[in-house]
Structure 1
Amino acid sequence: MSREESFSPSSRSWLPRVAVLSVVIALAAVVRVVPHPLNFTPIGAMAIFSGAYFTDRRAALVVPLVALFVGDLFTSLHVLIPVVYASFALNVLVARWLRSHRTVVATATVTLLGALQFFIVTNFACWIAFYPHTVEGLRECYVAALPYFRNTLLGDTVFVGLLFGGWAIAERAFPVLREPAPVAATV
């Protein structure tokens, strides 16, 4: 399906869905700035949800990245933000696969892979920025990060369940939120 097919100017059936998806992402970002256990946030879930449900690839990346940035303005800006955002964007892109494979097992697999890649990528950057550049420094960095990984995985799992489950209920209750069928191109 091409962008023109799903976002035809003559058909605005996608507008309520995009608006509500954006609000859901914004609400998830707000949850991130309220007190919570370290790394038990909806950030990874936002990326996966966004990648799986936004039809437009650019919206899937931009909406949650903007929400993440606004949240960072309230929490903290730090030297590793470019790596965190790149890892977050990678999770959005990996979750695009769920658009055509949305099952509990596939979603759980993407959630686990997303948490693992976030752990590996961001802690590697942390090692480069803050630890001795030795094998022992690398080991020390990843061992120190293990408790945070547990909370990241738990947070991602809980919030993916809430976002995906909540959206499924919303789509059933409000058919306007369902992904519209592509508009056929005229020749």
Structure 2
Amino acid sequence: MKNKIIISVVLIGLVVAGRLMPHVWNATPLIAVCLLAGYVLPRKWAIGVPLVAMFISDLSLGFYHLPIMLTVYGSLAIMTLFGSWIKEIKPHKVLAASLASSTFFFITTNFAVWASGTWYPKTSAGLLLAYEMGIPFFRNMALGDLVFSGVMFGAWIIMYNVENKKITNKSISQKIISNYNG
């Protein structure tokens, strides 16, 4: 129980800090946290982590159009399932989950903007325009998600191996030194 709380608080803190600190537009650790939470935490905890993090950061950043907000929050909950489908951390699995999550988020949220807002006509051309206008945000988000996912899952592997005595701080240092000297 204690580990679940610590992991959840750390992940929530990463998202809140990532959203509140200056950053490249849409490049935050949010989706990487969804995936890692889905991988390491029980389902209810995993789903709660990004939702709580979003709510806390939205208290500061401001709430927005309810149908879009519900789509964003719902998408985050679903994306934690993508993380739970990663049975073993392998680079190609993390890459696939990250890209699938970014794409899913792009499709669902831009559809919600088109369907519930007044920015775009309610036609197929309007829907395509909504997706076209979202492309710059998608590019930054996908790149950020890939980087943050790689860093977070990599850090998780290192922490897991250190905790289970598969590697030690000394062996990590020796490996770094041997790579540097060699």
What is the TM-score with the length of structure 2 in the denominator? 0.82
Q: Percent identity between the aligned chains?
A: 35
Distance 1:108 1:63 in 2: 21
User: What is the TM-score normalised by the length of structure 1?
Assistant: 0.80
2:136 pairs with 1:127: no
Structure 2's unaligned 5+ residue stretches are 166-182
Q: Which runs of 5+ in 1 are unaligned?
A: 1-13, 177-187
Q: Secondary structure of 1:102's match?
A: coil
Alignment of 1:1-187 (within 5 A): 14-15=1-2, 17-29=3-15, 30-54=17-41, 56-79=42-65, 80-98=68-86, 100-128=87-115, 129=117, 130-175=119-164
Query: Is the partner of 1:132 in helix, strand or coil?
Result: coil
Alignment root-mean-square deviation, CA: 1.5
Q: Deviations over 1:142-181 (max 9, x none)?
A: 11110000011011111111211111122222339xxxxx
Find the aligned partners of 1:119 and 1:33 in 2 and give their Cα distance.
21
- Runs of 4+ in structure 1 over 4 Å off: none
- CA distance in 2 between counterparts of 1:158 and 1:27 reads 18
Displacement of 1:64 after TM fit?
A: 2.3
Q: Deviations over 1:94-134 (max 9, x none)?
A: 22111x23211111111110000000000000111231101
1:76 & 1:158 partners in 2: Cα distance? 27
How many pairs are equivalent? 160
